[in-house]
Structures are given as structure tokens and as C-alpha cells.
Amino acid sequence: MAAAAPSGGASTPEAVASAEAPLQYSLLLQYLVGDKRQPRLLEPGNLGGILSPAKSEEQKMIERAMESCAFKAALACVGGFVLGGPPGCSRPPLSSHAF
């Protein structure tokens, strides 16, 4: 039989691991997606991308407006009218007995 480990010293890895608090998934999750998450400033130059100057507040405002759902919907309506209106007006109306 194996000899029992001495209880006076905590030099074995099992004793050290049990002395530390166990890493819980919820604690790790707070640091990854929770309140304790630190925002990171991602710059394309650091990631190997093309260097570009920082955007001004006006550029950011225009970009947010052009990426909004309302702008895209309005642009789609105008584009649909421009592409569909003239061909629809140039064709003669179809009567119901044609089908």
C-alpha cells in the first residue's frame, strides 16, 4: 500500500489546487461577456490591416445614418420606383380577360 501524504505540508499539486478557489464558468463568463469585460480598442494597423486616419464625428454620424434600417428602406423604395416605374408606364395595361 502507498504511504499517506504528510498532512503538515501542502506541497503536492492536489493540495495546492484544493487550497485555491475553483474556477467557475459563471465567473469566467463575467470577464468574457459580462459587466467586468474591458472594451478593447481595435485598430486595423495592429491587426495587420490597411492604416487609415481616425474618423471624425461627422463621418461617424453619416455612417450611422446610412447604415440605419430607415435609410436602407427608403433607398430601396426609391430604387424600386426608378427601376420599375418607367418600364411599367411604357407597357400597355393588361386587361383582365387576357388571362
Tens of pLDDT, residue by residue over 27-77, are 777 777 877 777 777 766 666 667 778 889 999 999 999 999 999 999 999
Over residues 6-35, the pLDDT tens digits come to 555 555 555 555 556 666 877 777 777 877
Asked if residue 56 lies in contact with residue 50, where contact means CB atoms within 8 angstroms, the answer is: no
Is 47 buried (19+), middle (13-18) or exposed (0-12) by CB count in 10 A? exposed
With a CB cutoff of 8 Å and minimum separation 6, the contacts of 47 are none
pLDDT at residue 1 in the model? 45
30 neighbors 36 (Cβ within 8 angstroms):
yes
> For 75-87, what is each residue's pLDDT tens digit?
999 999 998 888 7
- Supply the pLDDT for residue 6: 52
